[in-house]
């Protein structure tokens, strides 16, 4: 039986999926700024974060209203708390996109990523964006199978991170310390975006199945 | 008037302070491992994280039980939700200590931090540990003034981070790419521990005053 509680909860999950779409856009614009050195894109990625923060506040207010007015217990309570955690993850993913954009802005009009590392960082960014896009689908469709697939992507992300270290420490690295420090931090940011995507998707699995997957 | 709700909430805050003590120990041991290159300390910091994760689960279960059984509303509800967020922050600080210890372990028996950078990283670690220690006091004493002081430390942390970049990019850096990458990531980890401490302390301010400070 549908209840006011479930309708309100559906609306919170719709909002979470919308925020996930916003995060995807943020990752894409920050990456474009990074790989092109375009200052205008970096600024757009940085200033766009305020909208994600505002959306997070609305979702939090709605979730608290549900807790206050419906006083859910047991499984229902855990679902609302899961929603609160998902929105924290999503906000953090937005912050990490800002960190990527700030490295881009620091180096503009130059490109922070040396040509030698562009394929690895480009692929990390691609995976991160794709994971965020699929996380939005996972939230919208409550798609437990798609959530499991995200873990495979997360493993590719870890491999790419190791590859980036191998590149920097290899004898052919001619891009110096500054670029290496940028790449180390960029790798960390994209990896964290991926971790949070896995975490959000894992919470959807919990919401659907009642089973808590072991998440990062 | 004291109520069962407030007694249960006090108990949650006592547990949060205890977890904060555990995090402080984790930061200290991880730092000792880092600055001495001792593998046994690195392993201890890494394996110790399971206890923090377990403590987090207990606090979460207790907070959910309060929500379920007491169905608090308005300010009381927000306090319980704040406790849930604080325990997430604290768990994350534990994870970041593990990241520090893993860099130590990767380089052992050598020391990851070159002598040239040891004062800066040592000071960052000292500030991080001190901030975590004072955050435990803030939680125990509901000390709003001490919470405000943490922000000043956080600013020193940011300055040290910039100093570490200047060191690595200066002409006197002779420690190569690998050490620079380690320092960049270590700086990031200590900075994040500090950010989370400020966040936890900020939530205590909110719990006490009802005013949400603008936290990182």
Inspect the interface and report whether the beta carbons of B78 and A67 lie closer than 8 Å: no
Least Cα separation, residue B45 to chain A (angstroms):
18
Distance, in Å, from the CA atom of A134 to the CA atom of A130, rounded to the nearest integer, reads: 6
Per CB-CB distance under 8 Å, the chain A contacts of B178 are 169
Least Cα separation, residue B52 to chain A (angstroms):
15
- My answer on whether omega of the bond before B109 falls inside 30° of 0, hence cis, is yes
ipTM of the complex: 0.93
By C-alpha distance, the chain A residue nearest B91 is: A216
Q: Measure CA of the first residue to CA of the last residue in chain B; give whole Å.
A: 34
Give pLDDT tens digits for B137-179.
999 999 999 999 999 999 999 999 999 999 999 999 999 999 9
Which DSSP helix (H) or strand (E) runs through A133? Answer: helix A118-141
CATH number of B4-209: 1.20.58.220
The average pLDDT across B40-66 equals: 97
Confidence band, pLDDT 50/70/90 cuts, at residue B214: low
Q: Using N-to-C axis directions, what is the helix angle for B176-209 and A144-169, rounded to 10°? A: 140
Per CB-CB distance under 8 Å, the chain B contacts of A74 are 68
Q: Is A78 on the interface with B (CB under 8 A)?
A: yes
Helix (H, G, I), strand (E, B) or coil at A113: coil
**Residue for token pair 């609302």:** A80
Q: Which among A203, B82, B138, A207 has a CA at the least distance from the CA of A215?
A: A203
Least Cα separation, residue B176 to chain A (angstroms):
8
Give pLDDT tens digits for A143-180.
999 999 999 999 999 999 999 999 999 999 999 999 99
Q: Which residue of B71, B77, B184 is in closest CB contact with A184? A: B184
Q: Is A71 on the interface with B (CB under 8 A)?
A: yes
């Amino acid at each position: 039986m549908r209840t006011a509680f479930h309708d309100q909860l559906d609306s919170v999950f719709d909002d979470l999926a919308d925020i996930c779409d916003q995060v995807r856009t943020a990752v894409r614009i920050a990456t474009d700024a990074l790989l092109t050195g375009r200052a205008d894109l970096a600024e757009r990625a940085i200033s766009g974060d305020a909208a994600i923060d505002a959306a997070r506040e609305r979702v939090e207010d709605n979730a608290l209203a549900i807790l206050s007015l419906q006083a859910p217990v047991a499984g229902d309570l855990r679902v609302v708390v899961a929603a609160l955690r998902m929105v924290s993850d999503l906000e953090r993913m937005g912050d990490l996109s800002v960190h990527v954009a700030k490295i881009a802005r620091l180096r503009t009009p130059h490109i922070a990523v040396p040509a030698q590392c562009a394929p690895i960082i480009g692929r990390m960014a691609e995976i991160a964006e794709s994971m965020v896009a699929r996380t939005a689908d996972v939230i919208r469709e409550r798609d437990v199978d798609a959530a499991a697939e995200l873990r495979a992507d997360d493993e590719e992300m870890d491999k790419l991170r190791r590859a980036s270290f191998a590149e920097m420490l290899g004898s052919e690295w001619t891009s110096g310390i500054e670029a290496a420090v940028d790449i180390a931090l960029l790798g960390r940011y994209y990896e964290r975006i991926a971790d949070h995507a896995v975490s959000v998707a894992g919470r959807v699995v919990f919401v659907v199945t009642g089973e808590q997957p072991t998440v990062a």
